[in-house]
Every structure is written in C-alpha cells, then in structure tokens.
Amino acid sequence: MPEKLTLSAYLEQRGKKAKALKRGEAEAFGIPYPLQAGWPWRYGALEITPAMIEDAEVRIRAAKQEARNRAECRSAEVGKNSGAPQPPAVPALTAALFPGFVPRLARRYRARRSALRA
C-alpha cells in the first residue's frame, strides 16, 4: 500500500467497476451520504488512512449483521403465524348494488372465441 492513499486510488484498488462507496465507507471517510453528483471530483484528493479503512470495514460488518438479524426476525414472524388462519385475500361476495348487473370479467378470465365465430 502506498504511503499516501487517496480516495481516487482507493476506488481504483477496489476494481474497475467501483464507482461508488457503501454507506459505511462514506461515513468512515467523512463524505456525506447519499452521494451526490460530482462527489469523486470533490473528494478524490482526500487522504485515506488505515484507521479509516478499518472503521469502514467495521461499519460494513455491523450493517451486514443487522440486515441478517432483521431477515431472521421476519422469517421467525412468518413461521410463527403459519399455524394461524390467514384472512382471505379476496373479500367475500355480497349482494350486488344494482340488481341484474354483472361485472365484466377481465380478459384473461373470459372464454376464448375464434375470429371466425365473431
């Protein structure tokens, strides 16, 4: 690693397609997030220290762990409610507001008719 690592050099080291920073990286480097147009030009000469890189890695690991915990909680909630009866997705049919009126079926539910029988 060079003695002085700039933000531009850091992005180049991450790879060809690295054109953005993750939220943890931006916060560790002191760059306002969400990133706005022209941020590489404004902050490209910013010096990145090893402590900043370590802080960014810690923040990213913490964010990943938090996301995993949220996903586990959601899956536990779904599993917990699986035995309980679910409310019907479609409301029950009631008496028509206008007697004799039948709503038109959506095209995908209508019976097929050939062009010759039209």
Write the pLDDT tens digit of every residue in 53-102. Answer: 899 899 989 989 998 888 887 776 666 655 556 555 655 556 667 777 77
* Sign of the dihedral defined by the CA atoms of residues 69, 73, 76, 82, in that order: negative
Q: How confident is the model over 5-28, as pLDDT tens digits?
A: 888 888 888 876 667 888 888 888
CA distance 70 to 81: 17
Residue 48 bridge partners (DSSP): 5
The pLDDT, as a whole number, for residue 61 is: 92
